[in-house]
Every structure is written in C-alpha cells, then in structure tokens.
Amino acid sequence: MSTQTLSRARWVRGCILRLLLCLSAALVCALLAGLTGYILLRGLPHVTWQLLFTQSSVLRGTRGILPNLLNTLYVVLAALALVLPLGVGAAIYLTEYAASPRLVRAVEFAAETLAGIPSIIYGLAGMLLFCQLLGLGTSLLAGSLTLAVMTLPIVIRTTQESLKSVPQSYREGALGLGSGKWHMIRTVVLPPAMDGIVTGCILSAGRVVGESAALLFTAGMGMSLNRFFASWENFAHSSGATLTVALYVYAKERADFDTAFAIAALLMLFTLALNFTAKWAGRRLRRRKGERNE
Amino acid sequence: MMRRTPRPLERLMGLFFSACGLTAVAFVLLISLYLILAGVPALRETGLPDFLLGRQWSPTAQRPEFGIAPFLLTSVYGAAGAVLLGAPIGLLCAVFLAKTAPPRLAAAVRPAVELLSGIPSVVYGLVGMLVLVPAVRRCFRLPDGAGLFSAILVLAVMILPSIVSVSEAALRAVPPEYEAASLALGATQIETVFRVTLPAASGGVAASVVLGVGRAIGEAMAVLMVAGNAANMPSLFKSVKFLTTAIASEMSYSSGLHRQALFSIALVLFFFIMLVNVLLNRLLKRKGG
C-alpha cells in the first residue's frame, strides 16, 4: 500500500519534470521562431532596391543603406585579412613550435581572456590604442583593427583544434624525409587543417557582422558613401557606420523603425547564411577527420 | 655533411609564428595597461570609496559628482535577474537536449539554440524596444516600460544559448556508468538525470552560469535600447543605467574629468569581468580534473 502511493508520487513528479523539460525546450524554439518571424515580417517589406542601392538623402527624403552595407563588407574583409595571419600563426606556434608548457599556458590564458572581454571594452581600448595613440582617428581602419583583436581568440581556437586533429605520424613522416619545419607545416600540416581555418573565418565574420558596441567609438557613425579604396587616406581616415551601428542610429536617434527593421531583417538573413555555412564547413571537417581515423 | 643550421626561411617563419603567439599576450597586456592608465586619474581625483559607493552621478552639474553605485548595483541586479530567469530554463533545455529528447528532435532544437546566440545584440535591442517595452508598460500599467525589468528579460534571452550549450556539453560528459548504476538500482530515467547526472555535471553547469553572468554584465547595446538610461538607483520598474550603458551613452559627449570617469567605469567593469573569467577558468579546470 505504502509503496503504491510512493510510486504514484514518483510517477507524478516524473511527469511534471518531463513536462518542464519539454516546455523549456519549446520556449527556446518559440523564442527563436517568434523573433525571426517578427523581424522578417516587419523588415522584409521595407527592403527595396532603393534602400539597398542608394544612400540616404535628406533632400529627396529617401532612405538608403548602401554605405552601411559597403562599410560592413570592408570591415569584415579588413578584419579577416588582419586576423587570419595572426590567429593562424598563433595557433601554429601553440601546436607546432612552443617548447615551454608555461608559455603555451600563458598564450592560451591570454586567448581565453580576450574571448571574455566585453565588446564595449574593446571599443574603448580600440579608441585609446588605434584612434588616439596611432592617430587613426575615428575610421574604418581603426574599427577593423579593433575587431581583428576581438576575433583573434576565435581563429586561434578553431585553427588549434583542427591542427591538433592532424595525425602526429604525418609530421614524423615529413620530418623523417628531411623536410624543414616550415616546409612540413606548409605542405603536410596546413592542407588537412584548412577546414578548421575556414570555420574560424566564418565564425569571425559572423561576429564582425553582428558587432556594434566595439565599433561605436572606433569606426564611428558616418552615414555617407565613401570611396574607401580610392586612396589610403579615405580608408584610414573616414568614419563609417556598419549595418548594426546604422540600425542603432535609425532606431534610437532617428526613430525610423521601418528602416531599422529592414536592416534587422538583412542582419538575420546574414546570420542564418553564415550559420549554415559554418555548419556545412564543420560537417566537412568532421567527415575528413573520420576518414583519417579509419 | 647535410644542413645542420636551419635555412634562413625556416628560421624566419619560426620567428614569425612565435611573434604571432606572443601578440595575443601583448594585446591582453596592452588593453589592461591602457585601461588602467586611462582609468586611474579620475579614481585618484574622486577617491576610490567615493567613486564606488557614491550614490549620485551628475557629471555635468555645476558641482559634478561621480558616484557609480547606481551603475554597479544595476549591473549586479541585472545580471542576477537574468541568471535567475535564464539559468533554470537554459538548464532544463540542456537536460532535454542531452538526455530525454529523441535524437531527431534534439538535432532540430540544437541549431535553434545556436542561431539564438548568433543574432546581433542590436537586433535584440530593437525587438525589445518596440515589442517588449510597450508590453511591459501595458502589463504593469507604467508610464514607461523601459527599465531594469525589460533589460533583465532581454538579457535572460541573450544568455540562454551559452547556458544551454555549455551545460549540455557538461551533461554529455558524465560517464554513462553512473547513470547505468542508478537505473539498475530502480530509479526512473528522470530521477537518474536529476539526482545523478546533474550533480555529477555540477562543475560544468556552474561554469555555464558564470559564463552567463559574464555575458550579462558585459552586454551593452541591447541593454542601452531597453533600460531607459537614467542614473537611478536600481528598482525593478525604474529607468536605469548599467556600467556598460553609462559608457556607451555618455562617451560621445563627455570631456575632461567626465570622460576620465567613464574610463574608470570601464576599469571597474574590466575588473569584474576578469574576476568572472578567473572563476570560469577554475570551474572548467575542476571539471577537467
């Protein structure tokens, strides 16, 4: 009798917990679906050719985000170009060269610390270091440099993981045949680790596209069209708002919510696209690893 | 007879890679150094106790006062509130994904969690500003919905993904023998998960919560758009400023001591985050050991 009531209590408790588990997972999914749906529904109708391919004009009363689109593209490309050699180099150093474990620990700790620093602090540090100390002023270059530092830990981590997955026997084989260390890395270690580096790139690009707080004081809020690659002066000295910063400016300072939602919808689409690409690259990486282990 | 000394290119590349490795360390040192250099003058001017405990922040007044207690407390309350709301939901979701969900369903939910973490913070801010804030205003009959409560809700959603993914990894790392033993002794699957697996994964779960705290304290843009931005002492429905939003909203027009004080706020924030990082490291190490 007593065991029966006990087991019923247990059964009820089990059911309640199970229900809670399902509810919380459903809540997370509903949040994502609601957010995505709402943003796309409100934003996509306002994504027009005019918005995408012109710049805002007060005279004609039109809105355009072409400058911001281009700024985002420049910042992504510049940040990646800066962070790739640095991050991949640091990862190679950690897995191939570093002799003292203490040094490895120091570099890994530094990378973890960089990953934990909030973006607003990057914004301030970037402003102090790049804008003021190096005299770059509020410019896209300063913004790109700041974001390169911010994405450094991502590239280091993903590259390091894929370098570690290259079998030791490859290296021994190459060295045994008389290859130098750099020659071995270039020909034997890096090619199979390429997928990891690509994943790191995509993750960093996603982080850069979504970043705003670090750019507010480094790349600034310039909204006009610049021909950045026309001259070094343009690139190094003109401020420019990326899509995220433009969203903030339109929503908070100009109360133009239609444009803000249009930008938000574009950002969501970019996020989705980058996410899927990263997943695809990750799957390829895992498949390769599976082949190698067989 | 063969080459004993490395070729110049080899030596050059070795140097290059070492330099790359040390850049990460150099950046951390540079950032710390510059924040300290920029933050200390204002601290010296106002005095550390007055700065940290002062309840009045009026940088542009006739007699300016720089007390950041309102920001400090708001950041602490905000992070605590976000974790109180987000951690249970995130943890339950992690248990669902790791233990009770059918694999197909888990494979569909997991990308959703990852996507949630990829959404830019300004987008969270925008939706919070135009959907959440009016809803809060109507629900609680307030003059304005922008305030600590809205910020906590937004932060709770934003820290969900990190809590879910780190906790799930921790739950998966628990050796299956533990669960098998519990099941063999007659415990149901749910009892096993909550009495055996969760306690065994407590280190990783704690790490996920600490990570969430770090995210919540460091978030700036989303909070900036929903918190109202008045330097009040925190109260659930009042307009407040966080440490991060104080910097973000005032940096553009500040000058002189005001600007230096903002750098001091950044220094305090940096100190907080370093504390969180050290704690996180400890927890993850303990889990590993």
Domain positions in chain A are 2-45, 49-293
Mean pLDDT, rounded, for B191-216: 92
Distance to chain A for B276, nearest Cα, Å:
9
Mean pLDDT, rounded, for A268-289: 81
Q: Where are the alpha helices (DSSP H) in B101-147?
A: 103-118, 121-127, 133-139
The span from the CA of B22 to the CA of A109, in Å, is 12
A44, with CB counted inside 10 A (0-12, 13-18, 19+), is middle
Question: What's the pLDDT at A131?
Answer: 87
Whether A3 shows a pLDDT value over 60: the answer reads no
Q: Does the distance separating the beta carbons of A213 and B30 come in below 8 Å?
A: no
> Mean of the per-residue pLDDT values for chain A?
86
Mean pLDDT, rounded, for B254-268: 90
Which 5-64 residues of chain A touch chain B by CB within 8 A?
A: 10, 13-14, 17-18, 20-25, 27-29, 31-33, 35-36, 38-39
Considering only CB atoms, B20 lies closest to which of A24, A89, A125, namely: A89
Taking a C-beta distance cutoff of 8 angstroms, is the pair B224, B54 a contact? no
Q: Does the distance separating the beta carbons of A14 and B120 come in below 8 Å?
A: no
Considering only CB atoms, A113 lies closest to which of B17, B28, B217, namely: B28
Q: Who has greater pLDDT, A282 or A273?
A: A273
pLDDT exceeding 70 applies to what percent of chain A?
A: 91
Question: What's the pLDDT at B87?
Answer: 94
Distance to chain B for A173, nearest Cα, Å:
18
Residue B65: what are its φ and ψ, rounded to 5°?
Answer: -125, 140
Considering only CB atoms, B17 lies closest to which of A89, A152, A209, namely: A89
Q: Is B75-254 assigned to CATH 1.10.3720.10?
A: yes
B141 lies within 8 A of chain A by CB: no
Mean pLDDT, rounded, for B11-20: 90
Superfamily of the domain at A49-293: MetI-like (1.10.3720.10)
- Residue pLDDT, tens place only, A128-165: 988 888 888 888 889 999 999 999 999 999 999 889 98
**DSSP conformational letter for A54:** S
Report ipTM (2 d.p.).
0.89
Question: What's the pLDDT at A290?
Answer: 63
Domain positions in chain B are 75-254
Question: What's the pLDDT at A284?
Answer: 75
Question: What's the pLDDT at B289?
Answer: 39
- Residue pLDDT, tens place only, B32-46: 999 999 999 988 888
Mean pLDDT, rounded, for A61-80: 88
Among the listed ranges A44-58, A88-102, B192-206, which one has the minimum average pLDDT value? A44-58
Coil, strand or helix: which one is B174?
coil
> Mean of the per-residue pLDDT values for chain B?
89
Question: What's the pLDDT at B3?
Answer: 52
Whether A293 shows a pLDDT value over 80: the answer reads no
Mean pLDDT, rounded, for B43-58: 87
Which 228-257 residues of chain B touch chain A by CB within 8 A?
A: 244, 247-248, 251-252
- Residue pLDDT, tens place only, A232-260: 666 667 788 889 999 999 998 888 899 99
B148 lies within 8 A of chain A by CB: no
Whether A61 shows a pLDDT value over 60: the answer reads yes
CA distances from B255 to B102, B111, B221, B251, B258 (A): 58, 45, 22, 8, 6
